[in-house]
Amino acid sequence: MEVPKINMSKKIIQNISVPVKKLGKRVRAIPYGFGNNRYCPVCKKSSRKFGKFGRIPRFEARCMHCLSLERHRLVWTYLERKTDLFDGSPKKMLHVAPEQGLEKLFKKYLGDGYLSGDLDSPIAMVKMDITDIKYPDNSFDIIYCSHVLEHVPKDKQAIFELYRVLKLRGWAMILVPITVEKTFEDPSVITPKERLKIFGQEDHVRRYGQDFIQILTNAGFKVSKIKAVDFLNDEEINRMRVGSDTIFICKK
């Protein structure tokens, strides 16, 4: 009986793909390992230093074991230490534009209560327009939306939708890059080159300022601002390199 060559080839590829990926991760991390100067709370691994990342390279920004960035480490530490996300009780969570590393962890801890959505991401569980979320009012206990709104032309509509689908006693964690004093946008700026020059990235449509908290409040949210210094000491901030992002905790 002839063995189907194509099926056998697929099986061989499937059998070796996972070990190869794991080997690639280990090789990538070798120059950064063998030390305890840095610690990543996302993958729970220590290293000599973090890697650089960004168009204008930020040194010691990326964990070379799991590829987490400063804001991911900040968010994960806050979630573990300051929220009830991992207390074992059933919860429904919406993760907008899922980051691959965090997505896997959320699935692990929340199981069927976890949902990720995005317009284009291949790893998102459902296709979702954040300005028109196809779920009823009060659907989710938790919403996590990080560095998404600066890409959305109708950001106020998106924020209203997040408010609408959040449960009355739920909470949303929202992050955006705060790069100016007052938020500004210009709909006439449409080319990637112009957006890079004016907004700092080819696919950004605005710069957010210190008034972002008021934008959230205008949608109905009660907002708390959280920085790393609010719940971490200097040694932890330095070792985890959690960055200077602001976490906005939003409740109804």
DSSP labels for the chain? ----HHHHHHHHHHHHHHHHHHHHHHHHHGGG-S-SSEEETTTTEEES-PEEETTTTEEEEE-TTT---HHHHHHHHHHHHHSSTTSSS---EEEES--HHHHHHHHHHHGGGEEEEESS-TT-SEE--TTS--S-TT-EEEEEEES-GGG-TTHHHHHHHHHHHEEEEEEEEEE--B-SSS-EE-TT--SHHHHHHHHSSTT--EEB-TTHHHHHHHTT-EEEEE-GGGT--HHHHHHHT--SPPEEEEE-
Residues 61 and 136 in one domain: no
Q: How confident is the model at residue 221 (pLDDT cuts 50, 70, 90)?
A: very high
Site of tokens 């924020």: 159
Residues 62 and 129 in one domain: no
**Which residues are 248's β-sheet partners?**
174, 225
How many domains is the chain partitioned into structurally? 2
Residues 93 and 55 in one domain: no
Q: What pLDDT, on the 0 to 100 scale, is given for residue 33?
A: 62
Q: Residues of the chain with pLDDT > 90: what percent?
A: 83
Report the C-alpha gap between 40 and 102 in whole angstroms. Answer: 13
Instruction: Give the end of a domain, one of 34, 68, 102.
Output: 68
Q: What pLDDT, on the 0 to 100 scale, is given for residue 100?
A: 87
Q: Give a yes or no: residue 78 inside a domain.
A: no
> For 107-162, how does the pLDDT look when each residue is reduced to its tens digit (9 = 90+)?
999 999 999 999 999 999 999 999 999 999 999 999 999 999 999 999 999 999 99
pTM of the full structure: 0.87
Residues 99 and 62 in one domain: no
Q: How confident is the model at residue 26 (pLDDT cuts 50, 70, 90)?
A: low
What is the identity of the amino acid at 187? P
Exposure string for 87-115, b = 16+ CB within 10 A, e = fewer: eeeebbbbbbbbbebbbebbbeebeebbb
Residues 94 and 186 in one domain: yes
Q: How confident is the model at residue 17 (pLDDT cuts 50, 70, 90)?
A: very low
Residue 187 CA neighbour count, 13 Å, CB half: 3
Give the range of the structural domain holding residue 6, as residue numbers without chain letter.
1-68
**Given its phi and psi angles, is residue 42 left (phi above 0), alpha (psi -120 to 50 degrees) or beta?**
alpha
Residues 50 and 97 in one domain: no
Q: What pLDDT, on the 0 to 100 scale, is given for residue 55?
A: 85
Closest alpha carbon to 71 in 248, 244, 251, 249: 244
Report the C-alpha gap between 5 and 9 in whole angstroms. Answer: 6
Q: Kindly state the average pLDDT of the residues 219-231.
A: 98
> For 81-109, how does the pLDDT look when each residue is reduced to its tens digit (9 = 90+)?
999 999 999 999 999 999 988 999 999 99
Residues 99 and 53 in one domain: no
Residues 38 and 129 in one domain: no
Average pLDDT score over the chain: 90
Whether the pLDDT of residue 18 is over 50: the answer is no
